């Protein structure tokens, strides 16, 4: 069984070398590594240093965001099973060897555990704790994790990742793709004993940008994939702002969310106040991204209307 590892990159010069070092060290020989790069920084030059280690660099003629880059990688791939990785995810050396038995047993896609490696940093520790809190419950609803893999043939049948919209979808498409696999009747396996390490944002600016990006994806999913009218998306965004204000005003809900996360932090309740801060910044960033995305969608759709008139 051959694995194809697809890594879409956009200005990842600070992360990609560490990821490629982890990938070329994998102890499963029948695999290929495909980096689909849209960068304007030194990322492609760094990737080219690995071409003699079975790493292939693909530079698209036209940028279509992360979804488009993933689709190019899937089409280019020659393996039976796809592994879709972000540029800051570092699989452990036995990752593919431990995935292989699940596919030999007939599973079609596999979800694994993601562990933040740099938990000495507050924002990274918060993200890790929140993720662990989610996974501590019933994970059966999950359709995507870092280190996601699936059969290539099914990825194509599922329609790949969504592209071709007025604005490229920047977040939330992962769960949509996983749901499409489920709707095809694909057989899912969740194995949290398999772990991939993930480098999370350490600085305030990185954390803000990533959380804002999550917010930007919300209106895009609702508009382009769920076909919501703009007015309904605006109403939903307003309700989300009201919910956050209520959490802050009442204090207890925000404290509870942060306290629950501290149960999965090595610092325990000492992280309560720091996690409250991280939660608040996360909410503000999400709302900022959500409203920015709503206006961006409206502008893009108006441009298309003018062009088609």
Mean pLDDT, consecutive 10-residue stretches, the chain (309 aa), reads 95 92 95 94 94 91 87 95 94 96 97 93 95 83 94 95 92 92 96 93 93 95 95 97 95 94 95 97 97 96 79
Match 């740099």 to its residue by tokens. Answer: 118
Q: What are phi and psi of 139, to 5 degrees?
A: -85, 5
What DSSP element (H or E) covers 100?
Answer: helix 95-104
DSSP output for 247-283? HHHH-HHHHHHHHHHHTTSTTGGGGHHHHHHHHHHHH
What span, in angstroms and rounded, lies between the C-alpha atoms of 294 and 217? 10
Q: Is 193 exposed, middle or buried (0-12, 13-18, 19+ CB in 10 A)?
A: exposed
What's the pTM value of the predicted model, to 2 decimals? 0.90
Amino acid 19: pLDDT: 94
pLDDT, position 136: 78
Query: What pLDDT was estimated at residue 309?
Result: 60
Sign of CA dihedral 47, 50, 52, 55: negative
Contact 48, 36 (CB under 8 A): no
DSSP type of residue 187: P
Distance, CA of 32 to CA of 10 (rounded, Å): 20
What does the chain come to in residues?
309
């Amino acid at each position: 069984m051959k694995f194809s590892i697809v890594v879409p990159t956009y200005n990842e010069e600070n992360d990609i070398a560490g990821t490629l070092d982890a990938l070329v060290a994998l102890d499963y020989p029948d695999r290929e590594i495909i980096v689909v790069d849209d960068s304007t920084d030194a990322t492609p030059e760094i990737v080219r240093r690995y071409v003699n280690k079975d790493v292939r660099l693909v530079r698209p003629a036209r940028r279509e965001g992360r979804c488009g880059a993933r689709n190019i990688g899937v089409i280019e791939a020659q393996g039976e099973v796809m592994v879709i990785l972000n540029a800051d995810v570092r699989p452990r050396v036995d990752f593919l060897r431990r995935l292989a038995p699940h596919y030999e047993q007939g599973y079609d896609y596999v979800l694994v555990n993601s562990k933040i490696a740099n938990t000495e940093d507050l924002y990274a520790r918060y993200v890790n704790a929140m993720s662990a809190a989610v996974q501590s419950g019933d994970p059966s609803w999950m359709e995507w994790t870092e280190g996601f893999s699936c059969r290539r043939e099914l990825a194509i049948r599922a329609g790949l990742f969504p592209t071709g919209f007025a604005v490229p979808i920047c977040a939330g498409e992962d769960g949509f793709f996983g749901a499409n696999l489920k709707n095809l009747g694909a057989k899912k396996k969740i194995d949290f004993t398999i772990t991939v390490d993930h480098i999370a944002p350490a600085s305030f600016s990185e954390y803000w940008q990533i959380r804002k990006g999550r917010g930007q994806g919300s209106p895009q999913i609702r508009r382009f994939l769920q076909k919501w009218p703009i007015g309904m998306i605006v109403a939903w965004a307003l309700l989300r702002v009201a919910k956050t204000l209520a959490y802050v005003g009442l204090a207890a809900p925000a404290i509870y969310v942060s306290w629950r996360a501290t149960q999965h932090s090595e610092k325990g309740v000492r992280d309560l106040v720091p996690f409250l801060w991280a939660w608040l910044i996360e909410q503000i960033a999400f709302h900022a991204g959500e409203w920015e995305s709503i206006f961006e969608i409206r502008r893009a759709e108006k441009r298309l209307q003018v062009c088609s008139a």
